[in-house]
Amino acid sequence: MIRTATPADVPVIHAMVRELADYEKALHEARATEEQLHTALFGEHPAAFAHIAETADGEAAGFALWFLNFSTWVGVHGIYLEDLYVRPEHRGGGHGKALLTELARICVDRGYGRLEWSVLDWNEPSIKFYESLGARPQDEWTVYRLTDGALTALGSAPDRT
């Protein structure tokens, strides 16, 4: 079963974010707190949304955390899937596909133009899974990111306009 996350889900979402970071060999980079997730998901101006995949007995098997993006080329919103995670003991049970199906349904129902996400290039099981659903890599684009010191340096530079 897939359902929209509630404030009561924040602790389990936080735990699964950390499990995902550990799986991706980057636990040291997972700094978000439960309070930050609560504000992002359920604050006055939510910045993100989440869905929970549950087992038949109501256990959280996985989650999807996403936000809206916008394409100036097609003129409509899309969904950017920040995190998709299914706990190891529940993989192969259809939870990941059900989460992606729900997000695709939201896109179709709301007229959004795309559903996109990133995957680590070494994560072959996930790549095969995504491609089995019809997803294709966007090889012509390279992702860039400013963080930490570089972000602070650029953001603190004097305005020269």
Question: Which residues are the active-site residues?
Answer: 130
Exposure class string for 2-29: b at 16+ Cβ within 10 A, else e: beebeeebbeebbebbebbbeebeeeee
Name the residue among 123, 111, 115, 113 with its Cα closest to residue 85.
123
CB 103 within 8 A of CB 81: yes
- DSSP class of residue 54? E
